[in-house]
Structure formats: structure tokens, C-alpha cells
Copies of this chain bind each other. A is one copy, B any other.
Amino acid sequence: MPARRKTPVNTEQIEPHLCTISLRLEILQNVPFFKDLAEQDLREINQLFVEKGYAAGETIYFAGDTATRLYVVADGNVKLMQHALSGQDVMLDVLKPGEFFGSLSILGDDEYANTATAQTACCAISIGAEDFRRILQHFPAVSLKVIDIMAQRLNAAHEMIRQLSAHSVEQRIAHVLLALAQKLGQENEVGWLIQLPLSRVDLAELVGTTTETASRVMSRFQKEGLIKTGRQWVAITDRDGLTAYKLG
């Protein structure tokens, strides 16, 4: 028995120096838009990437910083945030290994549009925007994949806009929990566990409400047996029940 840890979330620490060069090739193969490249090309591209580890909570770049690099999550989770002048933060997305972030706007704006922070201890590899542009020019197939992924993200953002415009906090939380479980969930003795430390603050930032309201809704959901939740973790126990809530 390791300890009396209550978190069912797996929080193994990844040492910053774990992302060795040999591992990077494997990581790159799992990046959706590099998947179809020849091994030789991949090997060359690999040379252009640099890896770095981050502690949980550490910021990878800030919104407004000069945008020079494109990143790919290698291990752990990264969250993308927007900041409002009022001090209120908004969480746009949680990324898992294989997803990219950073400087996408290859030609135009040269500022990061959002802040990237390590949600868990994590490792990310990155490439200079210039080098990435060269790759896109040489491999049209990669460009097509990138366009495809961006279209998906745009759709996800539009879905979020619809949620915020038309649904109650209760519905939005139900939706976010289901989406996160879909993306990062693991079946478990507790239920369908979201493999991510997720506080009430995080949840509030994800659905655009306050921590208090988020807490109240979570209590209600738990009381009704839809979820099990504790400090920084959530598991879904009644998927259909939550879906019903989400739909109104």
C-alpha cells in the first residue's frame, strides 16, 4: 500500500528529462498529421524538434508573447487559457499527447493568442515556425491534415459558443464532463474516471461560471448519483443520466 492517497487519478510524475531523443520519434509517429510520412522523412523532421519538460502549473508561453514555435504534447496534459481584463480566466481546451498548440498562424500574427500551461507535469516537443512552414510546403499531405484538425477545432469552438449562448450552467457542466471523459476517460472501479486533476476552479473556467456555482452543480449531480467526485477528480457513474441533463 503506497499511502492513503484519495485521488483515483494517476498522478505519476514525469521527470523533465524523460523525453529522450529516442522517444521523440515514437511521439512524432503518433502526431496525427505526421502519421502517414515515410520513416526517413520523419527522422529528418525529428531533428528539427526540441523537447522540454514542465512542472504541473508551469506556463509554457503567455498570450501576447512573440509566437515563434509550434508545440506538440508528448506526455501529460496542457491547458489553453484566455485571460480577461477583469481577471477572470477562461479555459479553451485541454490537450493530450499528440495534439499541437502554439504558433499556427504561420504567416500573419506573430503573437500567441492564448496562454499554454501544464495542467499535469508534462513534456512537449517544439519546432520553429519557419521550419514547420517548410515542412508544410514540402509535404502537402501534412497541410491537409493540419487543415482538417483545425476545422475540427473550429467546430469544437463553435460548439462551445453554442453551449455558452443557449445552455444553462448545469447543462454546460454535464456536457464538459462527458466531453472530457470521452477524451481522457478511463474505466475504473469508481466509474468512468477523468484522468486529469480537475478542480472546481478549472471546471468553472471551462464552462464560464464561478467556482461556487460549479461546486453546487457538482454536489447536485453527486446527490443524484450521476457522478462521484472529490478533491481535483471526477468520475462519471451514470453516463445516460448525465447525457439527459446535458440535453435539458
Contacts and interface: CB of A to CB of B under 8 A. Distances in A.
A224 interface: no
A152 interface: yes
A244 B190 CA distance: 50
A248 interface: yes
Given A88-B165, A152-B105, A248-B85, A114 B147 contact: no
Contacts of A247: 85
A150 B136 CA distance: 15
A146 interface: yes
A86 B166 contact: yes
Given A104-B147, A144-B107, A166-B208, A158 B248 contact: no
A137 B106 CA distance: 18
Nearest to A111: B155
Contact of A151 (B90, B105, B133, B164): B105
B84 A158 contact: no
